[in-house]
């Protein structure tokens, strides 16, 4: 069931405290420690026209209920830009209302308007609820993800 009033829109400066609540929830879900410095960096990126990161929020009945952070990325084998979804999170109290799907649908429109051939993202293998959504809207690839530690 979709909320009565659902608006998917770019994140705005006035969203900071509600965005932070969602971003903290996202970090907690993935068990990643969050600090004011990290969140402040991400917040500043979202409002810096020279930074590649962009953000959408889902406003459900007047309250922020979800976020999506995305960016343009080069696809060298295609010789063009494509999209990458870094973060997608819906407030647990608002899940089951197609908010994540609405965020992805808006991102799809943005990607089409920008001429991206695809939008790619990753998720945890055990994130079953999100994967059920992703399986409806996208195709799972056969790629494996690696992280090379840099000893910092």
* Token pair for 9: 């829109």
The 3-class secondary structure across 13-79, one letter per residue, is: HHHHHHHHHHHHHHHHHCCCCCCHHHHHHHHHHHCCCCCCCEEEEEEECCEEEEEEEEEEEEECCCC
pTM score, whole prediction: 0.94
* The token pair that represents 20 in the structure block: 């932070």
Query: Is residue 142 in some structural domain?
Result: no
Q: Which structural domain, as residue segments, surrounds residue 121?
A: 6-137
Is 34 inside any structural domain? yes
Domains of the chain: total: 1
Q: Tell me if 143 is assigned to some domain.
A: no
> Who's near 66: CB < 8 A, 6+ residues apart?
22, 57, 58, 60, 88, 89, 90, 91, 94, 99, 100, 102, 103
The residue count for the chain = 152
Pair 117, 78: CB distance under 8 Å: yes
Q: Structure tokens of 118?
A: 């695809």
Q: What are phi and psi of 57, to 5 degrees?
A: -130, 155
Does residue 44 form part of some domain?
A: yes
In a domain, 152, yes or no: no
Per-residue pLDDT of the chain (152 residues; tens, 9 = 90+): 677 889 999 999 999 999 999 999 999 999 999 999 999 999 999 999 999 999 999 999 999 999 999 999 999 999 999 999 999 999 999 999 999 999 999 999 999 999 999 999 999 999 999 999 999 999 999 998 898 999 87
Residue 132 belongs to a domain with what CATH number?
Answer: 3.40.630.30
Residue 112: inside a domain, yes or no? Answer: yes
């Amino acid at each position: 069931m979709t909320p009565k009033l659902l608006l998917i829109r770019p994140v705005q400066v006035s969203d900071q405290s509600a965005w932070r609540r969602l971003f903290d929830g996202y970090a907690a879900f993935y068990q990643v420690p969050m600090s004011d410095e990290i969140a402040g960096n991400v917040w500043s990126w979202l409002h810096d026209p020279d930074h590649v990161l962009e953000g959408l929020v889902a406003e459900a009945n007047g309250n922020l209920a979800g976020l999506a952070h995305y960016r343009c990325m080069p696809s060298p084998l295609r010789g063009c830009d494509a999209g990458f979804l870094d973060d997608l999170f819906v407030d647990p109290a608002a899940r089951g209302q197609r908010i994540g799907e609405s965020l992805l649908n808006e991102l799809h429109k943005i990607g089409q308007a920008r001429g991206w051939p695809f939008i790619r993202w990753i998720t945890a293998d055990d994130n079953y609820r999100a994967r059920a959504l992703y399986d409806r809207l996208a195709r799972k690839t056969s790629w494996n993800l690696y992280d090379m530690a840099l000893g910092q």
